[in-house]
């Protein structure tokens, strides 16, 4: 089978290579989505605490630790996927991988958007903004690597969907990085 290369990712050759079973790869992506999903109510509850000015007796660091854990899990999965082989997924396999990534991207953007909306309050918490900035920068770069790894393993139709979600994801993370950069002139 031959496919034209129409994505920004590394060449998809369409030949059989070593790879993780599709269910395992999709399971890994879904597990990442579960981390982001669980962090949303935690973040919303943090925002509630910030707005009630009970922040000093509550724990804003659970969200930071959660973001750190998410980025670490993304990094770990990228390594595991690369170690298993480059992968050449086609048809429904490629589609389910692409769809799982799109869901992960969307839920994680929802999470980051909760933090962006809460940024005026979160910036009042001593030390929080610089630490969030580091987490967003790390997460953006880790998800870039992850998306490029899986995007290079699926046929072009699915890769295109992954590219599109990654572009939107990068936009949201760039917004967060701008908003939480308290040293920048616009902050």
Ligand X SMILES: *[C@@H]1O[C@H](CO)[C@@H](O)[C@H](O)[C@H]1NC(C)=O
Which residues make up the interface to ligand X (CB under 6 A)?
24, 27-28, 31, 45, 48-49, 52, 58-59, 95, 98, 133, 137, 157-158, 161, 177, 181, 183-185
Q: Whole-angstrom Cα distance, residue 70 to residue 112?
A: 12
For residue 18, the Cα-to-chain-centroid distance in whole angstroms is 25
Q: CB of 124: closest distance to ligand X in angstroms? A: 16
Contacts of residue 174, Cβ cutoff 8 Å, sequence gap at least 6: 140
Q: CB of 185: closest distance to ligand X in angstroms? A: 6
Q: CB of 24: closest distance to ligand X in angstroms? A: 5
Instruction: Find out whether 77 and 32 touch, Cβ atoms under 8 Å.
Output: yes
Handedness of CA 53, 57, 61, 63 (dihedral sign): negative
Eight-class DSSP state of 177: H
Q: CB of 16: closest distance to ligand X in angstroms? A: 20
Identity of the residue, 70 or 158, whose beta carbon is nearer to ligand X in the bound complex: 158
Identity of the residue, 168 or 184, whose beta carbon is nearer to ligand X in the bound complex: 184
Identity of the residue, 31 or 126, whose beta carbon is nearer to ligand X in the bound complex: 31
Identity of the residue, 88 or 161, whose beta carbon is nearer to ligand X in the bound complex: 161
Tokens of 73: 């899990």
Residue closest to 9 by CA, chosen among 156, 167, 141, 165 = 156
């Amino acid at each position: 089978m031959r496919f034209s290369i129409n994505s920004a990712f590394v060449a998809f050759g369409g030949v059989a290579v070593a790879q993780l079973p599709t269910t395992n790869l999709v399971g890994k992506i879904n597990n990442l989505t579960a981390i982001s999903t669980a962090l949303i109510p935690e973040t919303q509850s943090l925002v509630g605490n910030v707005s009630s000015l009970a922040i000093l007796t509550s724990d804003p660091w659970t969200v930071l630790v959660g973001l750190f854990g998410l980025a670490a899990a993304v990094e770990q999965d990228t390594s595991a996927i690369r170690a298993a082989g480059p992968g050449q997924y086609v048809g429904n396999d490629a589609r389910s991988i692409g769809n799982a990534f799109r869901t992960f991207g969307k839920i994680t953007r929802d999470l980051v958007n909760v933090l962006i909306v809460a940024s005026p309050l979160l910036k009042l918490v001593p030390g929080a903004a610089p630490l969030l900035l580091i987490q967003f920068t790390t997460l953006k770069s880790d998800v870039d690597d992850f998306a490029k790894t899986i995007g290079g393993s699926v046929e072009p139709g699915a890769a295109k969907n992954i590219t599109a979600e990654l572009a939107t994801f990068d936009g949201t993370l760039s917004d967060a990085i701008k908003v939480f950069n308290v040293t920048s002139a616009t902050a």
